[in-house]
Every structure is written in structure tokens, then in C-alpha cells.
Amino acid sequence: DSGVTQTPKHLITATGQRVTLRCSPRSGDLSVYWYQQSLDQGLQFLIQYYNGEERAKGNILERFSAQQFPDLHSELNLSSLELGDSALYFCASSGGNRLYNEQFFGPGTRLTVL
Amino acid sequence: EDQVTQSPEALRLQEGESSSLNCSYTVSGLRGLFWYRQDPGKGPEFLFTLYSAGEEKEKERLKATLTKKESFLHITAPKPEDSATYLCAAAIDNYGQNFVFGPGTRLSVLP
């Protein structure tokens, strides 16, 4: 158990809908990272937040947005969902603010778009 | 373009048969090379971070090494519980695609 929690574990929705994924980092970690993992794309870095502010951006679509709240939990919002958005979404956390700090991954949220 | 590749794509070993996994990277400004283990349907589990060429790290049956162009994960006398997908990733200090994962090597260790 990494100490990172994600809810929900599974999410099934329809195209065009909007969903919110939630992540709670390990106690004391200030950075939260979001990743998407699909069969054809592998693991893709989406975005990083550090202590409430956006720190780095990867392959995140404009339909997706994230934020980190004062209590350090983070939410990833996915809107206008398409079939291709079906994937595992992972959150990770670390104590530092750099991408090369050791990251601890949560168990993931499996999103299915029908 | 920053890129991380891994070989082989899949590897089957007999228990006790040592081998190495390769991670090749072409990136600008490497800040760290990471190795993770991932079991099916679970999040990646951190194994090692290597920061500079020549660095080596060990943990139980695993040893990771780094050169200027590639990293190796050596598995000595593997056991069936070592079966997993092993991912390497490069942390790059550019604003943009900052953390690039390789596609992984799927390792199966047969008893």
C-alpha cells in the first residue's frame, strides 16, 4: 500500500459526459501527479501540482483539467468524454516539487466510456 | 523528440535464470531515470532512481545501472513472484512532456 488513495475505483459513463476523479496524496506529500494508461498509449504523464499550483504539464487534453485543494487532495475533471478516453487513470504523490522526485502511485481509477 | 524505448517487449525466464532488461533513452536534459514494477491492474511501484552515468543501485534480486544512453535492470536468480511489467521512465526538466515512460517489458518467471 503506497498511501495514495483514489476514488472511485471504477467509473462507467457515456460519451459526452463529464466525470471527476479524486486523489488523496500520502500524508505530508505536497506534489500530486496525474497519469493516463491505455493499452495503445502506455503510461502518459498528464499534469503535476505542487502545494496547490500547477508545476508541470504533459500530454493533457484541453477537455481535461485538474486542481489541487488547500488540503492537498486533487481532482481530475474529464469533460466531453470520448470512447478513446477509456483508460486507467493514476495519481501519484511525492514530497518534493520536482518531476525527478520519487513518486508513489495510487491504485488507479478505471474509466469506461460507452 | 524525447523518447524512451524498452527491450525486449516480453521475456520468459525459468526460475533461477538471470537476465537483463534494457531501457534506451533519447532525451534532452535528463534529470533522473526511474524503474518501476507494475502488476496487472495496479499502480506502478517504485524500484530505483538513477541520476548520473555510472550509478548503480541494488534491491534484493534487482540491480539497476545507468549509462549516458541506456539503463539496464539486471535480475539475478529470479523467482515467480518477480513476474510483472517493468517500466522505465525519464524525468526531463523541460516545460512540456516532462516525464516520459517506456512501453515496458513484460517479465514472466516460470517455476
Give the whole-angstrom CA distance, residue A107 versus residue B6. Answer: 24
If you average pLDDT over residues B2-18, what whole number do you get?
Answer: 95
User: Which of A43, A58, A90 is nearest residue B97 as measured by Cβ atoms?
Assistant: A58
Instruction: Report chain B's mean pLDDT, rounded to a whole number.
Output: 92
What pLDDT, in 10s, does the model give residues B49-99? Answer: 998 999 999 999 999 999 999 999 999 999 999 999 999 999 887 554 477
Q: Check CB contact of B25 with chain A, cutoff 8 Å.
A: no
Query: What are the Cα distances from residue A37, in Å, to A28, A46, B28, B61, B103?
Result: 26, 10, 24, 27, 10
Query: What DSSP character marks residue A65?
Result: E
The pLDDT of residue B96 is 43
Closest to B13 (Cα-Cα) out of B67, B70, B78, B72: B78
The pLDDT of residue B41 is 86
Using an 8 Å CB-CB cutoff, list chain B residues near A45. 97-101
Give the whole-angstrom CA distance, residue A103 versus residue A2. Answer: 10
Query: What DSSP character marks residue B80?
Result: G
What pLDDT, in 10s, does the model give residues A18-72? Answer: 999 999 999 999 999 999 999 877 889 899 999 999 988 888 999 999 999 999 9
The pLDDT of residue B97 is 44
The CA radius of gyration of chain B, in Å to the nearest whole number, is 14
The pLDDT of residue A66 is 97
Q: Concatenate the DSSP letters of all residues of B22-36 into one string.
A: EEEEE-SSEEEEEEE
Q: Check CB contact of A104 with chain B, cutoff 8 Å.
A: yes
Residue A68's Cβ-count burial label (10 Å; 0-12, 13-18, 19+) is buried
**How many contacts, defined by CB atoms under 8 Å, are there between A and B?**
69
Least confident of A77-86, B30-39, B63-72, B94-103: B94-103
